Structure 1
Amino acid sequence: MSRRLFSCFGKASSNPNHDDKATTTADLTTEEQRRCGPVVVELFSSQGCATSSEAELLFSRLGRGDFKLDVPLILLAYHVDYWDYMGWKDPFGSSQWTVRQKAYVEALNLDTMFTPQIVVQGRAQCMGNETEEILSCVASAPRVPAPTFQATFQKPTPESLQVSFTGALRTKVDQEGVSVMVALYECGLVTNCPNGVNKDKVLANDYVVRRLEKICSVKDISAKKTLSGTVNFPLWESFNPAKCGIAVFVENSSRQIFGSQNFQLPDNI
């Protein structure tokens, strides 16, 4: 992948890119809105990017509820790896997250990959450090019913976490199909950065996606059909369940999101 595709300071504007299916929930009543699931907000970031630290602070403020939004959010931060050559290797960076961002570049018809970038419900995007643009994308995001999954947690070994899910999507799935994904994220991360563009800074990161797995892929099913699946997450050395959470979301091949749920890990896991 050529580095010329990447821009840490690139200009980007809101790009709703909604299709007819994506806007079917736009006219929901207030009561229906209350029954809808959270809006998924994804941040593509890097400790090797000079402007990502500002976006990370804004992202944490979204999670704290500083903006008093009318909709619940699921926040997921993906640290890409294409700035690692700049003198600092992001400890949370992964080529897997770079691939995910590239899929959004293609799905949203963008010219380039850049950090920091915000993607809302897989349908709209903007610069990750532009507060008003982010709030506008969240306010206009389509709302969809939340799945009704129940989750059970086990630790088969000290180095692994097993999560089993059972429930319904509450959204009818057509022939194109969807994937049910589950992310394990971590908050409260602090890094002393001795090199790179953020040299000598202390970087704070929340909602950092540490693992992402697929529960299942389905097509041609009713909204009420019961689904089940189990995922196994390998854990990292400093894993602390009190700092972590689980997000489940339903996405199509273009990464548009059609429902989501959030789970806290049990204290005794």
Structure 2
Amino acid sequence: MAPRLFSCFGRRSSDSKHDEKMTADLTTEEQRRGGPVVVELFSSQGCATSPEAELLFSRLGRGDFNLDVPLVLLAYHVDYWDYMGWKDPFGSSQWTVRQKAYVEALKLDTMFTPQIVVQGRAQCVANVEEALLSCIASASRVPAPTFQVKFLKPTPDSLQVSLTGALRTKVDHEGANVMVALYECGLVTDCPNGANKGRVLANDYVVRRLEKLCSVKDISAKKTLSGIVNFPLWDGFNAAKCGVALLVENNSHHILGSQNIRLPDNL
């Protein structure tokens, strides 16, 4: 893809089997008020202004801003800055395609990093703290799905996730996809080349896998759904650093529901 299509925005600165059931980390009060707000970061280790955004994103996860809303945080590393001298080890054309879909749905002129998309409906430059917090504060909330989850690790390099529950949101004739993301925190990379040459880069909530559980259409909020997704695992997979998020999204990637799921510590 031609470099002129993209921009780097912002201020430069930041053999055994295991089987266990888990449920969402949602209190009754959170479910009454609405489910989490989905905050998606599009970033790259090849973008000079992304490290500052990554720091803000990590602070969101630590609760530094005392936001009165639970969050689902997902960071997608795009690959269109790889030509600049450093190939992002977490970058993927799959995430570039996802960002492009948001650019089209939100009627933007260009793709850029670092970018935040909130609930699939609003966006801002990711390293501007005021804009980021405002975008989250103004986001509409929807009921959280109530899926129970069963994890099975049939081989050392695979993870099977079985889910059963209700979306708690009616889906009309336009339909929706139920997606499951596997993400990793606590990643540290020495960057010897590219725009961030000589820096040590820290990344959290990095999406490593994204799979479709099912597609639905014309179903009630209470209808029980079930399905299985299988994730191939990477070298060095550590369940203690990972989490799973369930997203219900329509064809425009508007979020119709989301759920955070913890992995068992001894997976």
**TM-score, normalization by structure 2:** 0.92
| Correspondence for 2:26 | none
For 2:179, what is the secondary structure of its paired residue? strand
| Correspondence for 1:256 | 254
The structural deviation recorded for 1:33 is: 7.0
AA aligned opposite 2:220: S
Partners of 2:120 and 2:240 lie apart in 1 by 28
| Correspondence for 2:2 | 2
Q: Which of 133, 136, 143 is 2:134 aligned to?
A: 136
Partners of 1:32 and 1:57 lie apart in 2 by 26
| Correspondence for 1:86 | 84
- Per-residue displacement from partner, 1:156-192 (whole Å, max 9, x unpaired)? 1100000000000010110000000000000000000
Contact 2:10 2:127 in 1 (8 A): no
Partners of 2:76 and 2:47 lie apart in 1 by 13
Residue correspondences, number: 250
What residue ranges of structure 2 are gaps of 5+ in the alignment?
12-28
Partners of 1:227 and 1:118 lie apart in 2 by 30
The structural deviation recorded for 1:36 is: 1.3
Change (3 A) 1:216 1:33: closer
AA aligned opposite 1:9: F
The structural deviation recorded for 1:81 is: 0.2
Contact 1:119 1:126 in 2 (8 A): yes
Change (3 A) 1:226 1:73: same
Contact 1:33 1:143 in 2 (8 A): no
Partners of 1:70 and 1:135 lie apart in 2 by 11
AA aligned opposite 2:81: W
The structural deviation recorded for 1:267 is: 1.4
For 2:69, what is the secondary structure of its paired residue? coil
AA aligned opposite 2:44: S
Contact 2:10 2:49 in 1 (8 A): no
Contact 1:10 1:114 in 2 (8 A): no
Map 1:1-269; keep pairs closer than 5 Å: 1-9=1-9, 34-269=32-267
For 1:149, what is the secondary structure of its paired residue? strand
- Per-residue displacement from partner, 1:7-61 (whole Å, max 9, x unpaired)? 01279xxxxxxxxxxxxxxxxxxx6874411000000000000000000000000
Partners of 1:263 and 1:10 lie apart in 2 by 32
Question: What is the root-mean-square deviation in Å for CA atoms of aligned residues?
Answer: 1.3
The structural deviation recorded for 1:4 is: 1.3
Segments of 4+ moved more than 3 angstroms? 31-35
| Correspondence for 2:15 | none
AA aligned opposite 1:208: V
For 1:142, what is the secondary structure of its paired residue? coil
For 2:46, what is the secondary structure of its paired residue? coil
AA aligned opposite 1:196: G
For 2:146, what is the secondary structure of its paired residue? coil
Partners of 1:10 and 1:246 lie apart in 2 by 29
Partners of 2:106 and 2:71 lie apart in 1 by 21
Partners of 1:197 and 1:147 lie apart in 2 by 41
AA aligned opposite 1:188: G
Partners of 2:134 and 2:64 lie apart in 1 by 15
Contact 2:9 2:125 in 1 (8 A): no
